[in-house]
């Protein structure tokens, strides 16, 4: 097959056909020394290093440059980058490129943990903005333009604003365009974690990308909804406030000096997948989605919630938590993206006309899972979870200051008013419920207890067995 429209893949295929002899890294020698299963080992023929004709990610002048140029043209950016360390490295780089120690940064509370890690590493100070509660999905959505305007009134040294769009659950912020204009009026760059929107460019029926709405830097996880390998992501820059060269500088520092050619090839392919997506392909996706939706809604006690992103569906079973449904589905060999107190999240495939999905077997397994739930006692907690609308605020202590302080474990019921020593992150979706240095509120306590009772998993300083959290010792 000719891969000229995917220049990096074509170069790798040409190299493989030469049957090259390896006296270079990596040590598996094109897979010859690998003990991996045969199907995995075959891919190692493409797992190479910066050899003649294969270019260099950190100083591209050949096939990688051409792959990035094609990506840049597709998204209409000033420059787009291939990322091999996930959207995490994109979030780190865009913040390093725009803020420094002590700078104020507007950030919505339901941002991914990598955003808060970036703020910690740069020494910037987060100004927390509460998202609006989305009653349909029972999840935190985006922030309002009114909230952003109020933040600018309260804080005069804002150097950047970071927003997440869409949310993990596929909810788009319909005020994002207005928010971007508001920030630009203050000459504040807007950085958007668009991890779940890499497919938006494929068809006009998908929500509009933040880049099209005027955002300065946008990061996308190609591996989430496009046919790219895990950790494969994109970063796009188009800005009057952020220098492309500065973003490139920090990507050079933060990304691996031995980038995976397998990941980069999958990004080249993912870009082509979007670029070649057409009306016939979208009609096939819609047909698959409609049939799946119709069949699921015919199952007794099942409710399906549609969101802004057509690739996301939320499925609920009356009288059961999402955790129970997820467990029942996994017993049938069906794996959802995540579960919460109310539902499971399904990420549908971005199918093309020649990849039409078949729903019959999937629906049967859903029916079997629901039957299994009916045979067990309901696990639905009596308490409802709702993210509180907290005031605009900053952390009481910076992470630098916290490192100098002592900590103690305390039962969460006694922690109201105390300062969290470490962040607490329900995972998935990886959104901090409580940030390090933030004062513990009654709303935090209620949410943690409800999530723990429902079986949620946590990262950070929360001992579920004893219901203790780590706070600053005073």
71-118 pLDDT, tens digit each: 999 999 999 999 999 999 999 999 999 999 999 999 998 899 899 999
Count of beta carbons in the 10 Å neighbourhood of residue 15? 19
pLDDT score at 126? 93
| Cα 172 to chain centroid, rounded | 14
pLDDT score at 388? 59
Confidence band (pLDDT; 50, 70, 90) for 381?
A: low
| Residue 184 scores a pLDDT above 90 | yes
CA dihedral in degrees (450, 454, 458, 461; nearest 10)?
Answer: 40
| Residue 165 scores a pLDDT above 90 | yes
Separation in Å, CA 321 to CA 95, 337, 339, 449: 37, 15, 8, 15
Confidence band (pLDDT; 50, 70, 90) for 195?
A: very high
So where are the chain's domains? 7-276, 279-375, 395-472
Average pLDDT over every residue of 444-470: 85
| Residue 180 scores a pLDDT above 90 | yes
336-373: pLDDT as tens digits: 999 988 999 999 999 999 886 678 899 999 999 999 99
Q: How many CA atoms lie less than 13 Å away from 101 in the CB half-sphere?
A: 4
Q: Does domain 279-375 have CATH number 3.30.70.1450?
A: no
Burial class (CB in 10 A: 0-12, 13-18, 19+), 109: buried
CA angle 69, 75, 77 (to 5 degrees): 70
What are the structure tokens assigned to 34, written together?
């690998």
Which secondary structure element, helix H or strand E, spans residue 312, and what is its range?
Answer: strand 312-317
pLDDT score at 61? 98
Confidence band (pLDDT; 50, 70, 90) for 271?
A: very high
- In a 3-state reduction of DSSP, which class is residue 164? strand
Average pLDDT over every residue of 30-57: 97
What is the CATH code for 7-276? 3.40.640.10
What does the DSSP 8-state code read for residue 127?
Answer: E
Average pLDDT over every residue of 294-314: 97
CATH fold group of domain 395-472:
Molybdopterin biosynthesis moea protein, domain 2 (3.90.105)
395-430: pLDDT as tens digits: 888 888 888 999 999 999 999 999 999 988 887 666
**Average per-residue pLDDT for the chain:** 93
């Amino acid at each position: 097959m000719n891969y000229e429209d995917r220049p990096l893949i074509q170069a790798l295929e040409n190299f493989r056909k030469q049957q090259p002899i390896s006296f270079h890294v990596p040590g598996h020698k094109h897979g010859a020394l690998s003990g991996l299963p045969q199907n995995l080992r075959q891919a190692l023929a493409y797992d190479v290093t910066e050899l003649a004709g294969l270019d260099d990610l950190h100083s591209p002048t050949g096939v990688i440059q051409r792959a990035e140029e094609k990506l840049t043209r597709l998204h209409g950016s000033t420059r787009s980058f291939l990322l091999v360390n996930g959207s995490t490295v994109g979030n780190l780089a865009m913040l390093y490129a725009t803020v420094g120690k002590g700078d104020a940064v507007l950030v919505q509370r339901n941002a991914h943990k990598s955003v808060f890690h970036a703020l910690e590493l740069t020494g910037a100070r987060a100004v927390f903005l509460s998202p609006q509660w989305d009653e349909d999905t029972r999840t935190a959505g985006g922030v309002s333009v009114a909230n952003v305007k109020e933040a600018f009134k309260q804080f005069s040294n804002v150097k950047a604003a970071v927003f997440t769009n869409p949310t993990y659950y596929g909810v788009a912020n319909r005020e994002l365009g207005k928010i971007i204009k508001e920030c630009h009026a203050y000459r504040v760059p807007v950085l958007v974690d668009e991890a779940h929107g890499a497919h938006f460019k494929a068809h006009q029926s998908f929500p509009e990308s933040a880049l099209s709405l005027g955002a300065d830097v946008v990061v996308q996880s190609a591996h989430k909804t496009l046919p790219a390998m895990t950790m494969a992501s994109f970063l796009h820059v188009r800005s009057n406030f952020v220098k492309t060269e500065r973003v490139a500088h920090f990507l050079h520092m933060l990304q691996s000096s031995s980038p995976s050619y397998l990941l980069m090839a999958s990004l080249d392919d993912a870009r082509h997948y979007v670029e070649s997506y057409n009306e016939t392909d979208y009609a096939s996706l819609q047909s698959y989605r409609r049939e799946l939706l119709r069949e699921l809604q015919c199952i007794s006690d099942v409710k399906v919630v549609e969101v802004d992103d057509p690739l996301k569906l939320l499925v609920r079973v009356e009288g059961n938590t999402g955790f129970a449904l997820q467990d029942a589905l996994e017993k049938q060999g069906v794996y959802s993206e995540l579960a919460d107190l109310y539902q499971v999240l399904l990420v549908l495939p971005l199918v093309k006309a020649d990849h039409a999905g078949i729903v019959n077997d999937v629906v049967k397994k859903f029916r079997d899972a629901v039957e299994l739930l009916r045979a067990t006692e309901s696990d639905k907690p009596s308490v409802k979870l709702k993210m509180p609308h907290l005031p605009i605020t900053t952390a009481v202590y910076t992470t630098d200051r916290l490192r100098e302080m002592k900590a103690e474990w305390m039962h969460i019921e006694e922690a109201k008013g105390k300062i969290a020593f470490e962040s607490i992150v329900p995972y998935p979706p990886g959104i901090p419920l409580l940030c390090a240095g933030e004062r513990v509120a009654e709303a935090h306590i209620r949410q943690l207890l409800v999530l723990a009772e429902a079986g949620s998993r946590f990262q950070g300083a929360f001992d579920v067995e004893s219901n203790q959290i780590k706070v600053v010792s005073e």
